[in-house]
Amino acid sequence: MRSRTILIAAFLVMLSAPLFAQGMRGPMSGGIVSPPANQRPPGLEFVGIEQHLDAEVPGNLQFKDELGNPVKFDDYFEKGRPVILNLGYYQCPMLCGEVLQGLVGSMKALTFNLGKEYEVVTVSFDPRETTEMAAEKKRDMMKRYGRKGTENGWHFLTGQPDQINALTKAVGFQYQFDPKTEQYAHATAIVVLTPDRHIAEYLYGVEFSPKDLRLGLVQASQGRIGNIGDQVLLYCYHYDPRSGKYGALISRILKLAGLATMLILGTFVFIMLRSDVRAAHSHPRRTA
C-alpha cells in the first residue's frame, strides 16, 4: 500500500510540471495544460495545472484567516508586494506538507524577508477544514522559517466551496476528491502573483530553487524589490513556462561578456595612457 501511495505521489509531482504539455494549449487563456483527462490514470482524470499566465485573479473572493477573521483575497495586495500563492489542504498526509517544507527551505535561503519584500498566502481547497487547523499549520511553518517579526507575512486561509472553486479555477489548479480515502489528489506547484493580482509564473514540484524563487519575486514585483544584480540576472535568465524554471539565455550572456571585456580593455588602455602622460610631465626632456 505504501509503495502504491509513493508511486501516485511521484506521478502527481510529474503531473504538476507540464512535461507532457509541449505544444498543448488551454482553452481559457492559451496557457500550457496538463494531459487531457482521458490520458490520465483512474482517479486522476481531473488533476493537473492549466497555466493562466498574465490572467488576473479576482480580489473580491472571501475567506477566513487563521484567526477566524473574514478577509478578502485583495487584502494581501494592498501593500504593493508580490505574493506567493500556495494551494493545498492542512490535513494532507503527504504532498502538501512536502511542498510547504520545500517552500520554507527556499525562503530561508533568500535575503528577502517575508512580510517585507513579499507575502505568502496558503489557501486550503478543502472546505471542511477549520481555522484551528490553519492556525496550527501556521505555527509549524513559522517555527520552521525561524525569522522573528515575519508572522504577519504568511497567511493561512480557509473558505467556502464557491470561493475556493473560483480561486482554483482562476489559477488553473485542478484537484480531485477520493471518497474512499477521503483525501485529495492534486498537483504540486506554487503560483507567483504580481502586486496587481496577475499571474506571473508557476514553479513546480515539492522543492523550489532559491534562484528561481528570487528571480520570480523580483520579476513579479515589477521592479519594486531586488537590486542591480537581480536585473542583470533577469537579463541573462528567462522564465520557461514549460519547465517552471529560469534558464540561461546564452546570447545575452555572451553580449554581456563581450561588453565587460571591452570595458576592461578600455579601462586598461586609459590607465596606461594616463601613466605615460604623468611620466612625461614628471620627467621633462632636457634641451641642449
So what's the pLDDT on residue 57?
A: 98
Rounded to 5°, the CA angle 79-145-202 comes to 60
**114 within domain boundaries:** yes
Compute the distance between CA of residue 63 and CA of residue 163 in angstroms, rounded to an integer: 7
Residue whose cell numbers read 502586486: 195
Number of domains in the chain: 1
**212 within domain boundaries:** yes
Which is it for the CA torsion 143, 147, 150, 153, positive or negative? negative
**49 within domain boundaries:** yes
Compute the distance between CA of residue 190 and CA of residue 246 in angstroms, rounded to an integer: 15
Compute the distance between CA of residue 201 and CA of residue 153 in angstroms, rounded to an integer: 20
**143 within domain boundaries:** yes
So what's the pLDDT on residue 109?
A: 97
**265 within domain boundaries:** no
**Long-range pairs, 167-170, Cβ under 8 A, ≥24:** 167/57, 167/58, 167/61, 167/73, 167/87, 167/123, 168/87, 168/125, 170/52, 170/55, 170/57, 170/58
**173 within domain boundaries:** yes
For the chain, the residue count is: 288
**148 within domain boundaries:** yes
So what's the pLDDT on residue 180?
A: 87
pTM of the predicted model, to two decimals?
A: 0.75
Q: How confident is the model at residue 223 (pLDDT cuts 50, 70, 90)?
A: confident
CATH of residue 134: 3.40.30.10
So what's the pLDDT on residue 268?
A: 57
Compute the distance between CA of residue 83 and CA of residue 250 in angstroms, rounded to an integer: 30
**283 within domain boundaries:** no
Domain hosting residue 186, numbered range: 2-224
Residue with the larger pLDDT of the pair 234 and 104: 104
So what's the pLDDT on residue 106?
A: 97
Q: How confident is the model at residue 184 (pLDDT cuts 50, 70, 90)?
A: very high
* Residue-wise pLDDT tens digits, 8-40: 454 444 445 443 333 333 333 344 455 555 555
Mean pLDDT across 73-86:
96
Compute the distance between CA of residue 51 and CA of residue 18 in angstroms, rounded to an integer: 9
* Residue-wise pLDDT tens digits, 107-154: 999 999 999 999 999 999 999 999 999 999 999 999 999 999 999 999
